[in-house]
Amino acid sequence: MLWRFFFFIAFQIAGGALGWWEAGLWGAAAGVSIATWVWFIWDFWRGSRVLRWLRQGDPQTAPSLRGMWGEAADRARRLARQAQLQIKASDARLHDILSALQASPNGVVLLDEEGHIEWCNQMAEAHFGFDAGRDLMQSVGNLVRDPDFTAYYNAQNFSRPVALQGRSSTPTRPVRISVQLYPYGDGRKLLLSQDITALEQAEAMRRDFVANVSHEIRTPLTVLTGFVETLQTLQLTEDEQQRYLGMMSQQAARMQSVVQDLLTLSRLEGSPLPGMSDWMPVEALLRRSEEEAEGLSATLTVNQKKHHDIVFPSAEAMKASGQIAGIVTELQSALSNLVNNAVRYTPPGGTITVSWEMLDNGNARFAVSDTGVGIAPEHIPRLTERFYRVDRSRSRETGGTGLGLAIVKHAVQRHGATLQISSVLGKGSTFAVVFPASRVRGSTVAVVKPPMIATALQQAAHSASMREPAEQ
Ligand code: ADP
C-alpha cells in the first residue's frame, strides 16, 4: 500500500516537473493534473480487468498484473482454486458414499421432507420396481402401492419394519421384503429394504421341521402308551403279552431310529468339512454296505418265497477300487443308506446292482440301481428334503425315518460329491454319487464315460440340490 502511495506521489512529481520544465508554474499544475488522470484511468483499467476475470470465474485465466491489483487477482485465484479442490474432494466423497450404498445388499432410498425420492440404489429399484432415472422426485407413496406400506407410512410410527410383497413376486416364486423408515436430518427419511424371502422360508421350514419331528416321535409314543395301558388293564395270556411287547419294542426302535438320524444330521451340519488326509479303502466301504444290505434283505424277506438278488462288484474289482479321502462314518452312512433304500423299495425277487467306476474325467462314480417301485418325476426334486416320503406306509413298514436321503445329500456334498437320481416309475431307480478326482486314488478299475442321465432327471437332481439352503 505504502509503495503504491509513493509511486502515485512520484508519478505526480514527474508530471509536475515535466510541466514546469515545459511551461513554468501553470505547466507544473497542468502536469500534475494530467498525471493524476492518467494514474486513475490506468488504475481503473487494471481494476476492471480483475473484475472481468472474477465475473468469468475461471481461475486458470487470471490476468497477470503487478502491484495491488495483481496481488488481489493472485489471492482471488488461490481462493478459487482452493474452493475448486474442496468441491472436487466433496464430490469424490459423495461418489464414494453413493457407491458404498449402491453396493449394499439392502435397498436404500433417500426421501425428502415431503416423501419424494431423492436417490435410490439398484437394490431398491429391484425391490420396489423404481426407475432411478424416471422416478426421482416422485412421491414414494404414489410408487409403492402396497396397502400395508401406505398404512405404515401414514401411521408415522417407524419403530418396526413392515413386510411387503416384492415387486418381482409371482405365485410360484414369492418374494418378500422387509421395509423400515428411519427419520433423519430436517424431516428427511431413509428407507431401507431387505429381501427376507429366504428368511421367511427358513422360518416356515423350521416350523414344519419341529412339527414333523414332534409327529414322528409322538406317533410311536402314542402307540407305546396304548400298549402299556392295555398291558396294565387287561388280563392277557402269555402269548398276547409277548406279541404286545414285540410291537412295543418295534415302536421304541422306530423312535430310536428317528433320534439317531436327527443326531447324524445335526453332526453333519455342525462338524468341520472333511479334510484330505484320511484315506480309506473303498473296498471296506463296499463290503460293509454289502453285509448291511444282505442283513436287511434277509429281515425283509423272512417268510417270503423270493429274495433279493444283490450284486456287488467282484472280489477283484473291489480290491482294485482304490482309496477315498474323507470321513469314514459319513461316507459309510451315505453309501449304506443308498444300498439299503434300494433293498427297501425293491420287492422280493428284484435285483439291486452296486457299482464303483472310474470316469474318464478322473472322477469316481458309486451307483446303486434297483428294479424296484421307482419314483414319479415330480417327487425327485424333493426326495432329499427331510421327512419327505413318496410312500409313507412303505417307508414305515421297512423302518424308514424319511431322513435317509437328507443324510446322504449332506454327507456327499461335504465331500465335494454330487448325488444324481434317475428313476422310472414301476421300473426302478439309480442313485449315484460322483466323487471328485481329488478325493480318489489308486483305483485300477476300468475307466468309463460318465453315463448320460435323462435331461428331466438331471434337472430334477439339479433342483434337488438348489433346495438345499431352505431345507430343514
Ligand atoms: P425313508 O426313510 O422314507 O426311506 P429316505 O430319505 O431314505 O427316507 O427316502 C425318501 C423317499 O425316497 C422314500 O420315502 C422313498 O419314497 C423314496 N426312495 C428312496 N430310495 C428309493 C428307491 N431306491 N426306490 C424308490 N423310492 C425310493
DSSP 116: B
In a domain, 354, yes or no: yes
| Gap between the Cα atoms of 453 and 439, Å rounded | 23
Q: Which of 354, 395, 403 to mutate to test the pocket of ligand 1 (most atoms within 8 A of CB)?
A: 395
Q: Which residue, of 172, 195, 218, is where some domain finishes?
A: 195
In a domain, 462, yes or no: no
Sign of the alpha-carbon torsion through 114, 118, 120, 125: positive
Q: Please tell me the pTM assigned to this model.
A: 0.68
Nearest CA to ligand 1 atom 4: 400
Sign of the alpha-carbon torsion through 146, 147, 148, 149: positive
CA proximity to 110, closest of 127, 124, 128: 124
| Gap between the Cα atoms of 285 and 363, Å rounded | 17
Give residue 452's pLDDT: 64
Q: Based on the domain organization, do 434 and 290 belong to the same domain?
A: yes
Q: Decide: residue 117, CB within 10 A, 0-12 exposed, 13-18 middle, 19+ buried.
A: buried
CATH of the domain at 149: 3.30.450.20
CA proximity to 213, closest of 467, 470, 402, 408: 402
Q: Which of 297, 383, 401, 430 to mutate to test the pocket of ligand 1 (most atoms within 8 A of CB)?
A: 383
| Gap between the Cα atoms of 276 and 325, Å rounded | 5
CATH of the domain at 410: 3.30.565.10
Q: Based on the domain organization, do 91 and 158 belong to the same domain?
A: no
In a domain, 469, yes or no: no
- The number of beta carbons lying within 10 Å of the beta carbon of residue 136 is 13
Cα 287 versus chain centre, distance: 40
In a domain, 465, yes or no: no
What is the domain count for the chain? 4
Q: Based on the domain organization, do 241 and 302 belong to the same domain?
A: no
How big is the chain by its Cα radius of gyration, in Å? 43
In a domain, 457, yes or no: no
- The number of beta carbons lying within 10 Å of the beta carbon of residue 295 is 12
- Return the amino acid letter for 376: A
Give residue 454's pLDDT: 47
**Ligand 1 atom nearest to CA at 346:** 24
Q: Based on the domain organization, do 317 and 345 belong to the same domain?
A: yes
| Gap between the Cα atoms of 161 and 177, Å rounded | 10
CA proximity to 130, closest of 89, 179, 86, 172: 179
Grid coordinates representing 72? Answer: 488481489
* 378 C-alpha to ligand 1 centroid (Å): 14
* 395 C-alpha to ligand 1 centroid (Å): 7
Q: DSSP per residue over 220-249, as a string?
A: HHHHHHHHHHHHHHS---HHHHHHHHHHHH
**Pocket of ligand 1, beta carbon within 6 A:** 341-342, 345, 370, 372-373, 375, 383, 388-391, 395, 400-406, 429
Q: Based on the domain organization, do 336 and 393 belong to the same domain?
A: yes
Give residue 69's pLDDT: 86
Kindly report the backbone phi and psi dihedral angles of residue 159, in degrees, each rounded to the nearest multiple of 5, phi listed first: -75, -20
| Gap between the Cα atoms of 433 and 359, Å rounded | 12
In a domain, 450, yes or no: no
Q: Which residues lie across from 52 on neighbouring strands?
A: none
In a domain, 211, yes or no: yes
| Gap between the Cα atoms of 178 and 166, Å rounded | 9
Give residue 96's pLDDT: 95
Grid coordinates representing 387? Answer: 421327512
CATH of the domain at 259: 1.10.287.130
Q: SS3 for 309?
A: strand
Q: Which residue, of 243, 270, 297, is where some domain finishes?
A: 270
| Contact (Cβ atoms closer than 8 angstroms) between residue 191 and residue 181 | yes
Give residue 330's pLDDT: 96
Residue at grid coordinates 402401492: 145
Q: Give the helix/strand (H/E) hosting 259.
A: helix 238-270
- The number of beta carbons lying within 10 Å of the beta carbon of residue 468 is 13
Q: Based on the domain organization, do 143 and 252 belong to the same domain?
A: no
Q: Give the helix/strand (H/E) hosting 353.
A: strand 351-359
Q: Based on the domain organization, do 392 and 422 belong to the same domain?
A: yes
| Gap between the Cα atoms of 367 and 412, Å rounded | 13
Q: Based on the domain organization, do 438 and 289 belong to the same domain?
A: yes
Give residue 315's pLDDT: 94
Q: Based on the domain organization, do 137 and 90 belong to the same domain?
A: no
- Residue 88's domain spans which residues? 2-97
CA proximity to 108, closest of 94, 98, 116: 98
| Gap between the Cα atoms of 466 and 96, Å rounded | 36
Nearest CA to ligand 1 atom 23: 342
| Contact (Cβ atoms closer than 8 angstroms) between residue 312 and residue 290 | yes
Q: Which residue, of 97, 114, 141, is where some domain finishes?
A: 97
Q: Give the helix/strand (H/E) hosting 110.
A: strand 107-111
In a domain, 453, yes or no: no
| Gap between the Cα atoms of 391 and 405, Å rounded | 14
Residues of the chain with pLDDT under 70: 1, 452-472
Q: Based on the domain organization, do 229 and 317 belong to the same domain?
A: no
Q: Give the helix/strand (H/E) hosting 181.
A: strand 176-184
E strands in 151-210 = 162-165, 176-184, 188-195
Residue 162 sits at the vertex; the CA angle it makes with 161 and 168, to the nearest 5 degrees, is 120
Q: Based on the domain organization, do 74 and 156 belong to the same domain?
A: no
Q: Based on the domain organization, do 132 and 260 belong to the same domain?
A: no
Helices 238-270 and 197-233: crossing angle in degrees, nearest 10, is: 160
